[in-house]
């Protein structure tokens, strides 16, 4: 770190999402954005001019100038870029999904542990103010229902909807339930691309919790990002997009109107930018050397769940087209 005490950071990959990383890093008081790099150097120069930092022609030169780095390259390149950073002793924030394969994730985990580096995964929804508020109302989920529906985006057509969208909710559900998966079934179909565009998964956990997740990138109308949690003592409804959290409980009501017993408590949600919160958390882990909010192990767990969903979809489609 510099004498100022600020963490010197960089961004590798400044496409759609990496551009936001670069801009948000400029808003983190404990960090100094040194520079950005990209396979398209002209793109790196453009972003560097806009945010006021240096454009690097290659990743190694950038890595040698920083303490920590956001890795926002295509998923297939996560492993190679992250490995280079760890080998140089840099702390890393890798966008989701953590890697393309579990074997790659395992190797990065071993390397990060051996080099005593911070290894955080960018599951952005963990830092959504509404999700952070959700923890206060959580007791023991019995049934969880999740919907993440939106339009098709060409920039995401190189990855299926499970790893692109559903993985957000898989990570959230796994973190909320805190139990191992016992049984999983799933179905999905291709609509506008050669990969799965809409998928549904049902997950049964060893502690008895059941979760039903639907993700679509071929839905018309306004995007939907909601999670509903049914517990023995209440029902929680969370709208990620609107940042609205409501808790439904039973209370006194009119004898001839059972529904009047349902009481609704709206919980105010801070309007904090989730990516800025995520980067602040990463910078704090880099400086304190404390475990990050979303570890490499968390990223691997979410990737494993996504792969299980994809495999079950493959089996279901095989049965479907055989009948």
- Looking at the domain assignment, is residue 178 inside a domain? yes
Question: Do residues 113 and 131 share a domain?
Answer: no
Query: CATH number of the domain that 160 lies in?
Result: 3.30.360.10
Place of tokens 């570890």: 295
Sign of CA dihedral 150, 155, 157, 158: negative
Residue 196 CA to residue 318 CA, distance in Å, equals: 14
For strands 31-37 and 54-56, give the pairing. parallel
pLDDT tens sequence across 184-212: 999 999 999 999 999 999 999 999 999 99
Are 88 and 46 members of one domain? yes
Distance CA 115, CA 228 (A): 40
Assess whether 109 and 131 both reside in one domain.
no
**Which secondary structure element, helix H or strand E, spans residue 299, and what is its range?**
helix 296-322
**CATH code at 54?**
3.40.50.720
Which residue from 4, 12, 117 is spatially nearest to 63, judged by alpha carbons? 12
- Could you say which DSSP state residue 307 is in? H
Whether the pLDDT of residue 2 is over 60: the answer is no
Distance CA 302, CA 168 (A): 8
Residue 263: CB atoms within 10 A of its CB come to: 13
- Domain stops at, among 90, 117, 144: 117
Q: Is 232 helix (H, G, I), strand (E, B) or coil?
A: coil
How many CA atoms within 13 Å lie on the side-chain side of 226? 12
DSSP 179: S
Averaged confidence pLDDT in the chain: 93
Shared domain for 145 and 101, answered yes or no, is no
Domain that holds residue 239: 126-273+306-317
Same structural domain, 137 and 259? yes
**125's tokens:** 């929804």
Residues 172 and 312 in one domain: yes
Quick one: pLDDT band at residue 4, thresholds 50, 70, 90? low
- 10 Å Cβ neighbour count for 225? 21
Angle between the 102-115 and 296-322 helix axes, to the nearest 10 degrees? 180
Task: Assess whether 162 and 248 both reside in one domain.
Answer: yes
Q: Give the angle 83-87-88 at the CA atoms, nearest 5°.
A: 120
State the total domains in the chain. Answer: 2
Per the rule left: phi > 0, alpha: psi between -120 and 50, beta: everything else, 268 is: beta
Q: What is the pTM of this model?
A: 0.91
Same domain, 105 and 231: no
Cα 33 vs. chain centroid, distance in angstroms? 22
Residue 45 included in any domain: yes
How many other C-beta atoms are found inside a 10 Å radius of the C-beta of residue 121?
29
- CA atoms of 204 and 214, how far apart (whole Å): 15
Q: Is pLDDT larger for residue 4 or for residue 84?
A: 84
Point out the least confidently predicted range of 50-59, 126-135, 151-160, 274-283.
151-160
What is the average pLDDT across 237-244? 88
What is the C-alpha separation between 145 and 166, in angstroms, rounded?
A: 12
pLDDT, tens digit, 9 for 90 and up, residues 100-110: 999 999 999 99
Residue 213, Cα to own-chain centre: how many angstroms? 15
């Amino acid at each position: 770190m510099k004498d100022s005490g600020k963490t010197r950071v960089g961004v590798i990959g400044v496409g759609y999402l990496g551009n936001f990383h670069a801009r948000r890093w400029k808003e983190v008081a404990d960090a100094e954005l040194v520079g950005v790099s990209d396979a398209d150097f002209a793109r790196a120069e453009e972003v560097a001019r806009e945010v006021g930092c240096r454009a690097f022609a290659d990743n190694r030169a950038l890595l040698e100038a920083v303490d920590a780095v956001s890795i926002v390259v295509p998923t297939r390149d996560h492993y190679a870029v992250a490995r280079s950073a760890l080998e140089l002793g840099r702390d890393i924030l890798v966008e989701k999904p953590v890697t393309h394969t579990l074997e790659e994730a395992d190797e990065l985990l071993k390397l990060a542990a051996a080099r005593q580096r911070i290894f955080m995964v960018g599951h952005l929804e963990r830092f959504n103010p509404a999700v952070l508020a959700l923890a206060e109302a959580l007791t023991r989920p019995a049934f969880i229902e999740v919907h993440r529906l939106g339009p098709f985006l060409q920039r995401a057509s190189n990855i299926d909807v499970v790893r692109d969208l559903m993985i957000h909710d898989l990570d959230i559900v796994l973190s909320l339930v805190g139990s191992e998966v016992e049984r999983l079934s799933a179905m999905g179909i291709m609509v506008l691309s050669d990969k799965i565009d809409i998928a549904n998964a049902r997950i049964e956990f060893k502690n008895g919790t059941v979760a039903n997740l639907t993700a679509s990138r071929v839905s018309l109308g306004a995007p939907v990002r909601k999670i509903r949690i049914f517990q023995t003592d209440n029902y929680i409804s969370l709208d990620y997009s609107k940042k609205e959290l409501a808790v439904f409980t039973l209370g006194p009501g009119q004898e001839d109107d059972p529904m009047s017993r349902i009481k609704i408590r709206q919980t105010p949600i801070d309007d904090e930018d989730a990516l800025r919160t995520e980067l602040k958390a990463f910078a704090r882990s880099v400086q304190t050397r404390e475990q990050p909010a979303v570890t490499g192990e968390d990223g691997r767990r979410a990737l494993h769940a996504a792969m299980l969903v994809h495999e079950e979809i493959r089996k279901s489609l095989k049965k479907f087209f055989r009948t």
